[in-house]
Amino acid sequence: MVAALVGSGWQWWWSVVNELQHLPEMLRQMREGAESFEQVARQLANSTAMFEEIVEVYGKTMLDAAERNAAMTDAMRQRLESLAALNTPDAVAETVGELQKVFGTLAQLNPLWPARLGLRPDDDTGDND
Protein backbone atom coordinates (compact mmCIF):
# COMPACT_ATOMS: atom_id res chain seq x y z
CA MET A 1 0.00 0.00 0.00
CA VAL A 2 2.82 2.39 0.87
CA ALA A 3 4.47 1.56 -2.44
CA ALA A 4 1.22 2.40 -4.23
CA LEU A 5 1.05 5.75 -2.43
CA VAL A 6 4.70 6.51 -3.19
CA GLY A 7 4.18 5.49 -6.83
CA SER A 8 1.11 7.68 -7.16
CA GLY A 9 3.01 10.54 -5.44
CA TRP A 10 5.76 10.35 -8.04
CA GLN A 11 3.18 10.21 -10.79
CA TRP A 12 1.55 13.31 -9.39
CA TRP A 13 4.95 15.01 -9.08
CA TRP A 14 5.85 14.25 -12.72
CA SER A 15 2.44 15.47 -13.77
CA VAL A 16 3.03 18.79 -12.01
CA VAL A 17 6.55 19.08 -13.48
CA ASN A 18 5.15 18.42 -16.96
CA GLU A 19 2.50 21.10 -16.52
CA LEU A 20 5.05 23.57 -15.15
CA GLN A 21 7.23 23.02 -18.23
CA HIS A 22 4.35 24.32 -20.37
CA LEU A 23 3.74 27.31 -18.11
CA PRO A 24 6.24 29.75 -19.75
CA GLU A 25 4.74 29.16 -23.20
CA MET A 26 1.22 29.53 -21.85
CA LEU A 27 2.17 32.79 -20.09
CA ARG A 28 3.80 34.10 -23.30
CA GLN A 29 0.64 33.33 -25.24
CA MET A 30 -1.47 35.04 -22.58
CA ARG A 31 0.76 38.16 -22.74
CA GLU A 32 0.46 38.21 -26.54
CA GLY A 33 -3.30 37.83 -26.24
CA ALA A 34 -3.50 40.66 -23.73
CA GLU A 35 -1.34 42.90 -25.96
CA SER A 36 -3.54 42.08 -28.96
CA PHE A 37 -6.64 42.83 -26.94
CA GLU A 38 -5.17 46.17 -25.83
CA GLN A 39 -4.26 47.02 -29.44
CA VAL A 40 -7.80 46.22 -30.61
CA ALA A 41 -9.23 48.28 -27.76
CA ARG A 42 -7.01 51.26 -28.74
CA GLN A 43 -8.01 50.93 -32.39
CA LEU A 44 -11.69 50.80 -31.43
CA ALA A 45 -11.29 53.86 -29.24
CA ASN A 46 -9.55 55.72 -32.09
CA SER A 47 -12.23 54.65 -34.56
CA THR A 48 -14.97 55.74 -32.19
CA ALA A 49 -13.29 59.12 -31.73
CA MET A 50 -12.99 59.49 -35.50
CA PHE A 51 -16.66 58.64 -36.01
CA GLU A 52 -17.66 61.11 -33.32
CA GLU A 53 -15.58 63.80 -35.01
CA ILE A 54 -17.11 62.98 -38.41
CA VAL A 55 -20.62 63.16 -36.95
CA GLU A 56 -19.80 66.49 -35.29
CA VAL A 57 -18.36 68.01 -38.48
CA TYR A 58 -21.22 66.64 -40.56
CA GLY A 59 -23.77 67.98 -38.08
CA LYS A 60 -22.17 71.42 -38.09
CA THR A 61 -21.97 71.44 -41.88
CA MET A 62 -25.58 70.42 -42.29
CA LEU A 63 -26.72 72.92 -39.65
CA ASP A 64 -24.85 75.66 -41.49
CA ALA A 65 -26.38 74.52 -44.79
CA ALA A 66 -29.86 74.43 -43.23
CA GLU A 67 -29.39 77.94 -41.83
CA ARG A 68 -28.20 79.19 -45.21
CA ASN A 69 -31.10 77.46 -46.90
CA ALA A 70 -33.60 78.99 -44.49
CA ALA A 71 -32.11 82.46 -45.01
CA MET A 72 -32.11 82.02 -48.79
CA THR A 73 -35.66 80.70 -48.74
CA ASP A 74 -36.85 83.71 -46.75
CA ALA A 75 -34.99 86.10 -49.04
CA MET A 76 -36.36 84.39 -52.13
CA ARG A 77 -39.88 84.35 -50.77
CA GLN A 78 -39.67 88.08 -50.12
CA ARG A 79 -38.15 88.69 -53.54
CA LEU A 80 -40.76 86.58 -55.32
CA GLU A 81 -43.54 88.39 -53.48
CA SER A 82 -42.11 91.74 -54.55
CA LEU A 83 -41.50 90.50 -58.12
CA ALA A 84 -44.99 89.12 -58.42
CA ALA A 85 -46.31 92.61 -57.82
CA LEU A 86 -44.04 93.97 -60.60
CA ASN A 87 -44.89 91.13 -63.02
CA THR A 88 -41.27 90.67 -64.26
CA PRO A 89 -40.56 87.11 -65.56
CA ASP A 90 -36.79 87.70 -65.98
CA ALA A 91 -36.37 88.53 -62.31
CA VAL A 92 -38.39 85.45 -61.35
CA ALA A 93 -36.16 83.30 -63.59
CA GLU A 94 -33.07 84.82 -61.96
CA THR A 95 -34.45 84.03 -58.51
CA VAL A 96 -35.18 80.44 -59.51
CA GLY A 97 -31.60 80.20 -60.81
CA GLU A 98 -30.33 81.30 -57.42
CA LEU A 99 -32.49 78.63 -55.81
CA GLN A 100 -30.88 76.04 -58.07
CA LYS A 101 -27.46 77.23 -56.91
CA VAL A 102 -28.56 76.74 -53.30
CA PHE A 103 -29.60 73.17 -53.95
CA GLY A 104 -26.38 72.57 -55.87
CA THR A 105 -24.42 73.74 -52.86
CA LEU A 106 -26.46 71.49 -50.58
CA ALA A 107 -25.74 68.56 -52.90
CA GLN A 108 -22.01 69.30 -52.70
CA LEU A 109 -22.02 69.50 -48.91
CA ASN A 110 -24.21 66.47 -48.26
CA PRO A 111 -22.44 63.15 -48.87
CA LEU A 112 -25.79 61.38 -48.65
CA TRP A 113 -27.38 63.44 -51.43
CA PRO A 114 -28.63 61.02 -54.13
CA ALA A 115 -26.52 62.60 -56.88
CA ARG A 116 -23.36 62.14 -54.77
CA LEU A 117 -24.23 58.48 -54.33
CA GLY A 118 -24.57 58.03 -58.07
CA LEU A 119 -28.34 57.63 -57.91
CA ARG A 120 -30.70 58.88 -60.55
CA PRO A 121 -34.11 60.16 -59.41
CA ASP A 122 -35.80 57.03 -60.78
CA ASP A 123 -33.12 54.61 -59.55
CA ASP A 124 -32.57 53.88 -55.88
CA THR A 125 -30.10 51.02 -56.39
CA GLY A 126 -27.01 53.04 -57.29
CA ASP A 127 -26.52 51.21 -60.62
CA ASN A 128 -25.99 53.62 -63.46
CA ASP A 129 -26.31 51.09 -66.32
- pLDDT tens sequence across 26-36: 999 999 999 99
Does 107 reside within a domain? yes
For residue 56, being part of any structural domain is answered with: yes
Range of the domain at 93: 43-121
Domain assignment present for residue 3? The answer is: no
* Domain presence at residue 23: no
Q: Is residue 5 part of a domain?
A: no
7-19 pLDDT per residue, tens: 677 788 888 888 8
Spatial CA neighbour of 109 closest among 63, 77, 71, 70? 63
Whether residue 129 lies inside any domain: the answer is: no
- Tell me how far apart the alpha carbons of residues 19 and 111 are, in angstroms, rounded to a whole number: 59
Tell me, rounded to whole angstroms, the distance of Cα 75 from its chain centroid: 35
The total number of structural domains in the chain stands at 1
Phi, psi of 127 (to 5 degrees): -85, 130
Q: Give the model confidence (pLDDT) of 29-66 as tens digits.
A: 999 999 999 999 999 999 999 999 988 888 888 888 77
